[in-house]
Structure 1
Amino acid sequence: MATPNGEPVAASSHPSPYSSSPVAAASLARDLSEYLLYAQFDDDDSGSETEPSSVKLAVGTPDVSMASSYRRPSITAVGPRPTVLSAARLPEGSRLPKGGWEAVKKDERSLLRDNHVLPPKPSVAGGLTRLFSRAGAREDEPAAAAAAPTETSALLGGEEPQAEAGIAKQWEEAVLSGKIQTTWRREAKTIGRYSRSLIVTFILQYSLTVASVFTVGHLGKVQLGAVSLATMTSNITGYAIYQGLATSLDTLCAQAYGSGRKKLVGLQLQRMVYFLWVITIPIGIVWLSAGAVLRRVVPDPELGDLAGKYLKILLIGAPGYACFESGKRYLQAQGLFNATLYVLLFCAPLNALMNWLFVWKFGWGFVGAPIAVSITDTLLPLCLLLYVRFVDGMACWNGFTYHAFLNWGPMIRLALPGLLMVEAEFLAFEILTLASSYISTTHLAAQSVLVTLTSMTFQIPFPISIAASTRIANLIGATLSEAAKISAKVALVAATIVGLLNMVLLSSLRNFIPQLFTDDPDVIEMVANVLPLCAAFQLFDALAANCSGILRGLGRQRIGGWTNLFCYYAVSNSNPACGILESKG
């Protein structure tokens, strides 16, 4: 095993943080053994990677150049409370995605400069000083000749090739000698850089739901309550299933990509799409019959009828949504994390425009909202397809093949745990919506507005927690525990600031915000009365999210998982029943 510069790396006694999943490894081995003879899977990797083809990630060598510094936790479900599962773990010998080694080297050089292991980066002022000093000493021709650029000089003031070749060795020596330290400013900048695109992505994706609530809410509280009821049903019986099952691709696609057989990534994508389309059949049966079921579950029959109509139209876009969830993982396995952001930057504003056009401009009323959502769900995978075809990602596409209908067992076994985790997260919050429908339509409409608001504010601290978990995991992987402590403190301070800002926003605008969602005075009054309570827990919500991120970075997800399970089901969901009894009494 070697570093990027070909230097040997000693094996470590520490367990690898990127150990392979046995199920995924067996699946990959079977794919390779069965399909390796086919030309379509015989990859030519020459020139496709920026790092040397011989570069591998050594098992248990965390001091090798912070090799995970480019990674993001990619297994995320977007809902009332997005869920992060364990990040995809690459097997021994995995290659870094495109641009990975450049990001690693940049991080190394920056930290080495800050800790005075490397000389500071040349500045413009320093360059001018040297220029004028040379101009004033032209008579000293030998000195001028020595300072003149040569064929090996860096064009933009970067390191010489010889210096660049020794970065990995200097980094390893500095880490082992304890010279690498970080600062609050550096960690704040790093977490901010990691989280800014994530915040935009999460807000844009959640805006697809907000747009329907926003436009339909002004039709009346019955319509607003029906949208909330339909969204609850679609999340529990459809979207959570798609997102949970698709999480297996974060392991399978990453391992296929890491093996060097990139075409197998496209094979895993096709398998999951076909599998989710098969799952769409029972989901469709549930959605088509949801109206009749909801009429018997909720007290107001009109709510059940409207929610059932919403779900029937929403079913049109379900196959597209399944493709989108699979396509995201296909691109993320290649390190193309911004592809989803670019797609949402186009589709989210278009979704809001279609909601306004269909509901109000064209006069379609309530049915206009699910039509807009269905069109958006269909456009999302098409836009991803255009990105792959014309921007990046085609290197892993193998063309359509019948092999995608084989070897489904490992994929399903990996998908079921992700399904259970995401489903539990969705169900915990959707129970509140169902419980509020038993009080009155006004309570259900108010619940819809409150959940939308608090979920939207959560889309800021949650991406920060993802960035914090990534950064902390990177630093611990590089054996920089003190730096990881500083990063954790910075994340908690950032969460406190965001929580306080959300608290001030909701409390100060409590009489104005409800009017954006509905014109019903009873709903507005109820939301305004409850918003101060929602504002009060914003600080603790943000802190809890980032504490979970720190636990993920430490690899202690089990602690956070059991804590959330107890709080959601033993504490939180006991309160709605008490509220209903008090209201009935």
Structure 2
Amino acid sequence: MAMDDSKGPLLVSNGEEREDLGLVKEFGEESKRLWKLAGPAIFTAICQYSLGALTQTFAGLVGELDLAAVSVENSVIAGLAFGVMLGMGSALETLCGQAYGAGRLRMLGVYMQRSWVILLTTACLLVPIYVWSPPILKVFGETTEISNAAGKFALWMIPQLFAYALNFPIQKFLQAQGKVIVMAWISAVVLVEHAFLSWLLILKIGWGLPGAAIVLNISWWLIVIGQLLYIFVTKSDGAWNGFSRLAFSDLFGFVKLSLASALMLCLEFWYLMVLVVIAGRLPNPLVPVDAISICMNINGWDAMIALGFNAAISVRVSNELGSGNAKAAKFSVVVVSVTSVIIGVVCMGIVLATRDYFPHLFTTSEAVAAETTKLATLLAITVLLNSLQPVLSGVAVGAGWQSIVAYINIGCYYIVGLPAGILLGFTFAFGAEGIWSGMIGGICLQTIVLVAITSITNWNKEAKEAESRVRKWGGSAAEQ
């Protein structure tokens, strides 16, 4: 009996050890699958974000007004358009990802064409915002000088708007199939071209803002053309079968899902961009606007890492749900959450360690650099929070929860966070730091709510809904 008693716990221990080793192995395998998608997606996102960021950096070397003009146009006017286009294009993450997981490959090309029709129409509707941007910016409190300069730059950037309309559906189409390497190569080549031409036209030749606009437009259209050539030449392994009249069918339902996606992502994307607008209402706004713009620039680069994981987890969740594998979808969410938080902690440490140095990379003004250093602690906190929050949004897109998350964003961001920021910034006179601190509270609340929702989700039910969604969006018609 003694021998049996002594062996019992040992067997249990060995069983638990084997189970733990199996879990570690499974975690590692899922990490490899995520990084295979997230690595190139992060690189692509950083390259594409760096187009605007480099333009902003070169403009800052020309002068404070040029920096403010590019910053406000990038953050407010182009930022609004970017949010709308990215959001509406994100409907394809749900549909293409789940269709690919279900083996309905030919549907992907039809979905992309439907998204082109919707986004190009939306781009035409957004053109008046570019044309009338000076009075719009003045309504939101920007000075006449900054509004007029940003408005002139916005007019020159209208071609970029239509590049967005084509680019985001193409990206979602390729991401759903895991074809992320080709996007990374195209973006890298364009970034090198962009850096050289920016230096040449903005600084060397001295064209200033017109030169910045020319280079930025050319770069975005080169990305679109490069990706289209890849799709048309390779046929994307059967996902592209040429232009089809099916692109104009079921548009109403497609618009409805696209609008839900746009609302969800726009409410997130615009939230911190509002900081630049509100800062324009502070006394002597040029310095705080420039300082916050630099911080948003850094935050934007960091957010590209989270955006890469956003794309990866969206593909993983949608593919697994589309193939009916609920357990794999749930485990993928756990793996990506742990990974992104670790990266967020590292990035937070980097911001804090370099807060006295990085502002000088973006401005020659000592006043702007000093104000940026003051805001670095808030930037570090935001970087940490933004490591997890976009990933959870990617889970929502992959599962098709866009409408639910849109309501959460309205409550957390615009009913809680934004009023708190205005109260701290103006009523309690904490300035830019107060505005940002209040808005961080909204991000915290939204992250907590998304964690709770993800934790209680019935993934088997989500897999069944994915199967129903694939049938609903014209599977049989597309196959014909």
TM over 0.5, shorter chain:
yes
* Distance in 2 of aligned mates of 1:225 and 1:453: 16
> 2: distance between equivalents of 1:553 and 1:261?
17
CA separation of 1:397 and 1:544: change in aligned 2, threshold 3 A = closer
Which residue of structure 2 aligns with residue 529 of structure 1? Answer: 374
2:370 partner letter = E
The correspondence for 2:256, drawn from 413, 437, 457, is: 413
Structure 2 counterpart of 1:323, which letter? L
| Greater per-residue helix proportion | 2
Q: CA deviation at 1:216?
A: 0.9
Question: Where do residues 377-416 of structure 1 align in structure 2 (5 Å cutoff)?
Answer: 377-393=220-236, 395-400=238-243, 404-405=247-248, 407-416=250-259
| Counterpart pick for 2:118 among 266, 275, 278 | 275
Q: Pairwise CA RMSD of aligned residues?
A: 3.8
Contact 2:90 2:397 in 1 (8 A): no
Q: Are the structure 2 counterparts of residues 267 and 478 from structure 1 closer, same or farther at C-alpha, using a change threshold of 3 Å?
A: closer
Name stretches of at least 5 consecutive residues in structure 1 with no aligned partner: 1-114, 116-176
Residue equivalent to 1:229: 72
TM-score (norm 1): 0.60
465, 489, 506: which one aligns with 2:351: 506
> Residue in 2 aligned with 1:291?
134
Q: Which 10-residue stretch deviates more, 287-296 or 223-232?
A: 287-296
CA contact (8 A) 1:435 1:576 kept: no
* Residue in 1 that maps onto 2:39: 196
Find the partner of 1:347 among 171, 179, 190: 190
* 2:166 match: 323
The 1:526/1:497 distance shift into structure 2, 3 A limit, reads same
Report the Cα distance in structure 1 between the residues aligned to 2:413 and 2:277, rounded to whole angstroms. Answer: 15
Q: What SS is found at the alignment partner of 2:157?
A: helix
Cα deviation code 1:296-337 (max 9, x no counterpart): 543421111111111111102322221112222343455534
Q: Tell me what 2:289 maps to.
A: 444
The Cα shift of 1:190 comes to 4.6
Note the C-alpha offset of 1:361. 1.7
Distance 1:337 1:178, change over 3 A: same
Q: Secondary structure at the match of 1:571?
A: helix
Instruction: Name the counterpart of 1:580.
Output: 426
Taking the aligned partners of 2:30 and 2:251, their CA distance within structure 1 comes to 43
Counterpart residue type for residue 218 of structure 2: I
Amino acid at match of 2:372: V
Residue 182 of structure 2 is aligned to residue 336 of structure 1? no
Q: Tell me the equivalent position of 2:384.
A: 539
Change (3 A) 1:394 1:382: farther
Count of matched residue positions in the alignment of Structure 1 and Structure 2: 407
Check if 1:205 corresponds to 2:48: yes
Q: Would the aligned equivalents of 2:175 and 2:311 in 1 still touch at CA under 8 Å?
A: no
Q: What does residue 89 of structure 1 align with? A: none
In the alignment, is residue 242 of structure 1 matched against residue 119 of structure 2? Answer: no
Cα distance in 2, alignment partners of residues 493 and 542 from structure 1: 10
Identify the structure with bigger relative contact order (alpha carbons < 8 Å, sequence gap 6+). Answer: 2
- Of residues 500-509 and 327-336 in structure 1, the stretch that sits farther from structure 2 once superposed is 327-336
Unaligned runs of 5+ residues in structure 2 are: 1-14, 432-480
Label 1:354 to 1:459 Cα distance change in 2 as closer, same or farther (>3 A). same
Residues 254-288 of structure 1: CA deviation (Å, up to 9, x unaligned): 677767583x6444434432333333222112211
Contact 1:436 1:576 in 2 (8 A): no
Once residues 341 and 97 of structure 2 are traced to their aligned partners in structure 1, the CA distance between those partners, rounded to angstroms, is 35
Give, in angstroms, the shift of residue 559 of structure 1.
8.1
Q: 1:378 to 1:545 in 2, by over 3 A?
A: closer
How far off its partner does 1:450 sit? 0.7
Larger gyration radius, structure 1 or structure 2? 1
The residue type paired with residue 442 of structure 1 is: V
- The structural deviation recorded for 1:428 is 1.6
- Give me the whole-angstrom Cα distance separating, in 1, the residues matched to 2:47 and 2:306: 15
Q: Which amino acid aligns with 2:159?
A: I
User: How far 1:567 moved relative to its partner?
Assistant: 3.3
Contact 2:37–2:180 (CA<8 Å) still a contact in 1? no
Does the 8 Å contact 1:461/1:498 carry over to 2?
no
After superposition, the Cα gap between the structure-2 partners of 1:491 and 1:418, relative to the gap in structure 1 and judged at 3 Å, is closer
Kindly state the Cα deviation for residue 438 of structure 1 after the two structures are TM-superposed. 1.0
Q: Distance in 1 between matches of 2:126 and 2:404?
A: 33
Q: 1:289 to 1:554 in 2, by over 3 A?
A: closer
Indicate conservation of the 8 Å contact 1:299/1:438, yes or no: yes
User: Alpha carbons of 1:255 and 1:361: their partners in 2 closer, same or farther (altered >3 Å)?
Assistant: same
Distance 2:122 2:183 in 1: 24
Counterpart in 2 of 1:138?
A: none
Instruction: Return closer, same or farther for 1:192/1:242 CA change in 2, 3 Å cut-off.
Output: closer
Give the drift of 1:368: 1.9
Q: Secondary structure at 1:414's aligned position in 2?
A: helix
1:448-487 matches, cutoff 5 A: 448-464=293-309, 467=312, 474=320, 478=325
In 1, Cα distance between equivalents of 2:404 and 2:229: 41
- Deviation of 1:400 after TM superposition, in Å, equals 4.6
User: Is the aligned partner of 1:218 residue 2:53?
Assistant: no
Aligned residue in 2 for 1:362: 205
Amino acid of the structure 2 residue aligned with 1:571:
V
Distance 1:204 1:492, change over 3 A: same
Matched, 1:520 2:369: no
> How much identity, in percent, do the aligned residues show?
26
1:319-370: CA deviation from partner (whole Å, max 9, x where unpaired): 2221112222343455534332232122222222222222112211122222
Q: In 1, are the aligned partners of 2:198 and 2:211 still within 8 Å (CA)?
A: yes
**Distance in structure 1 (CA, Å) of the matches to 2:326 and 2:237:** 36
| Separation of aligned partners in 2, 1:275 and 1:354 | 32
Q: 1:293 to 1:369 in 2, by over 3 A?
A: same
The 1-side partners of 2:105 and 2:29 are apart by 37
CA shift in 2, pair 1:441/1:274, >3 Å: same
Counterpart of 1:521, as a letter, is E
